[in-house]
């Protein structure tokens, strides 16, 4: 019987862009160490097509992802909650219970304006920022698991 992986829940408001990109990146970087999910306090009901497009550029497929409410996870044991809402003053979801919490804010690319290419560039910029942070987080988990003594 394999051990249960620690469950990480990445939260934002709409669960259509930032949290979806973070879920895909963290799952790719540490899916063997962590069970990764994302949700929103007011789910948009879809994953943004531009988020899907820019993630495809780095080899991560979000096309089967869905926008989920955080309530879907209230009855699950969550080890870590990470919020990714950009502006700390904006309403960002709160997850109840005794969990490890992190807040890494990123701009919401869904609010980008300009030409089609300028909007895509905003999505790429946020994707790359999320990738940098979540790959570093995954590397920390990987190093900790390497240093941890084997379990009997």
Rg (CA), the chain: 15
pLDDT tens for 66-113 read: 999 988 998 888 999 999 987 644 556 667 777 798 999 999 999 999
pLDDT tens for 5-14 read: 999 999 998 9
**Res 148: pLDDT:** 73
* Residue 3, in any domain of the structure: no
Q: Write b or e for each residue in 40-54: b if 16 or more Cβ atoms lie within 10 A of its Cβ, otherwise e.
A: bbebbeebbebbbeb
CATH number at residue 94: 3.40.50.2300
Q: What residues are annotated to the active site?
A: 12, 85, 92
pLDDT tens for 25-69 read: 999 999 999 999 999 988 999 999 999 999 999 999 999 999 999
- The boundaries of the domain holding residue 125 are 8-147
pLDDT at 1 over 60: no
**Res 136: pLDDT:** 98
* Residue 1, in any domain of the structure: no
> Structural domain tally of the chain?
1
**Res 151: pLDDT:** 57
* Residue 2, in any domain of the structure: no
Nearest alpha-carbon partner for 50 in 105, 114, 131, 117 = 117
pLDDT at 118 over 70: yes
Q: Angle 18-30/116-147 helices, nearest 10 degrees?
A: 40
């Amino acid at each position: 019987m394999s051990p249960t992986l620690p469950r990480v829940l990445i939260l934002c408001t709409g669960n259509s862009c930032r949290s979806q990109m973070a879920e895909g990146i963290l799952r790719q970087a540490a899916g063997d160490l962590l069970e990764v999910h994302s949700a929103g306090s007011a789910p948009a009901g879809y994953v943004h097509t531009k988020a899907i497009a820019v993630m495809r550029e780095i080899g991560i497929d979000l096309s089967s992802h869905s926008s989920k409410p955080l309530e879907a996870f209230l009855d699950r044991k969550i080890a870590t909650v990470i919020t990714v809402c950009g502006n700390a003053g904006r309403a960002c979801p709160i997850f109840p219970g005794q969990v490890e919490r992190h807040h890494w804010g990123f701009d919401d690319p869904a609010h980008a304006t300009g030409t089609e290419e300028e909007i895509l560039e905003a999505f790429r910029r946020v994707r790359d920022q999320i990738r940098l942070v979540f790959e570093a987080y995954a590397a920390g988990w990987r190093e900790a698991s390497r240093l941890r003594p084997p379990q009997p």
